[in-house]
Homo-oligomer: A and B are copies of this chain.
Amino acid sequence: MKHFITIKDIAKELDISVSTVSRALRDTYDVNKETREKVLEMAIKLKYKPNFNATGLAKGSSHNIAVILPFITNYYFSTVITGIQEVAYQSGYNIVLYVTNDSPEREIDIISNLPITSLDGLLVSIASNSDYFDHFVEVMANEIPIVFFDRVANNLETSKVLQDDYNGAFEGVEHLIENGYKKIAHIAGPDTLTFTQNRLRGYLDALHKHQLSTKEEWIVHSGFSQEDGKKDAELLMSLADRPDSIFAANDRKAIGAILYLKSKGIKVGEEMGVVGFTNDPSSEIISPALTTIAEPAFEIGKKSCELLLKHIERKNFHPQEIVFPGKLIVRESSSKTI
């Protein structure tokens, strides 16, 4: 990892105090010309970059952190940001917000043009189809710590904060099985995302444990919107061998599915079980109310920010991976006996 020259290095080389170096660079009245020139020469020799983390020179930090994520107009992400904001505010940090619109191109563009000298760290949830991570590596090479949350870049050696997607999915599907459903479909997210893969694994393993099988055509990968959920449900209902229930990768897809099923006169719960993932407020508003796995979005935001602050404060802080358990919330959409 690259070592950035600090004023400490200059002080050490010249055997003078850090404070003198700092004052020489700031050209204060009490530093003589000779010292100033020596400091300047050494700064050039060591390739010291005076613009690095400039605003925070005195404090050693800019107190700005960037939050980069696909969307903010959904409950999960806006709640995560609220958690981040809460910790940042208490600690005197500002949040610089970047929205990728779930586009890998915009993500790369944003990261490549970050005002890196005025940022202390990054909190990132990657775009759905991101498979290129060099731009993150470059940021980290500049000694700017990154903490990933929810949608993480797997291979990077940095802290990550996640919900337990595997166990949440397992529990949700097992709940359907215990309620008498046998032909369980899964409407999933894009298969490039780790959390989508983990929810799929949880689904498959729950079926396996209970000696139930699935069909390739019962596993549908698409986007995360309500509209995607509607279309996925339409596709499943058009099959010759229809499933009797749906485990959805998130609540918006589940709600789209329920709205489609209702529009076709299919009784949700009784005829078709539906389980979601998130515990979006809409899951209580829809009728029948949606059974789901609650994600601790606010806690995930808080913990991500806390970890990032630790990385900022201690250069050698060891990366951690924190996994929050989900919580099954049983409502009406998964009951055969409404």
Contacts and interface: CB of A to CB of B under 8 A. Distances in A.
Contacts of A45: 27
Contacts of A26: 49, 51
A180 B27 CA distance: 69
A78 B72 contact: yes
Nearest to A24: B44
Nearest to A57: B51
Interface centre among A45, A67, A89 (most CB of B within 10 A): A89
Interface in A9-30: 25-27
Interface stretch (A79-87, A132-140, A185-193, A236-244): A79-87
Contacts of A98: 85, 89, 94-95
Interface string A78-121: 11011001000100101111110000001000100101011000
Contact of A44 (B27, B92, B95, B259): B27
A290 to B, nearest CB: 10
A197 interface: no
B97 A85 contact: yes
A36 interface: yes
Contacts of A115: 54-55, 63-64, 94
Contacts of A287: 286-287
Given A54-B115, A94-B115, 13 more contacts: A50-B50, A51-B55, A51-B118, A55-B115, A72-B82, A72-B85, A73-B79, A73-B82, A89-B98, A89-B99, A95-B96, A96-B96, A97-B97
Interface of A: 25-27, 33, 36-37, 40-41, 43-45, 47, 49-52, 54-55, 57, 63-64, 67, 71-75, 78-79, 81-82, 85, 89, 92, 94-99, 106, 110, 113, 115, 117-118, 226, 255, 259, 281-282, 285-287
A75 to B, nearest CB: 7
Closest 9 CB pairs of A and B: A51-B54, A55-B115, A50-B51, A97-B97, A73-B78, A95-B97, A85-B99, A78-B78, A72-B78
A85 B100 CA distance: 10
Given A78-B72, A81-B72, A96-B94, A27 B49 contact: yes
Contacts of A73: 75, 78-79, 82
Nearest to A74: B78
Contacts of A63: 115
Contacts of A50: 25, 50-51, 54
A55 B116 CA distance: 9
Contacts of A55: 51-52, 115, 117-118
Contact of A281 (B52, B71, B82, B282): B282
Contact of A40 (B41, B75, B95, B97): B41
25 contacts: A25-B44, A27-B45, A27-B47, A36-B44, A37-B40, A40-B43, A40-B44, A51-B54, A51-B118, A55-B115, A64-B96, A64-B115, A72-B82, A72-B85, A73-B75, A73-B82, A85-B97, A85-B98, A95-B97, A95-B98, A96-B97, A97-B97, A281-B282, A286-B286, A287-B287
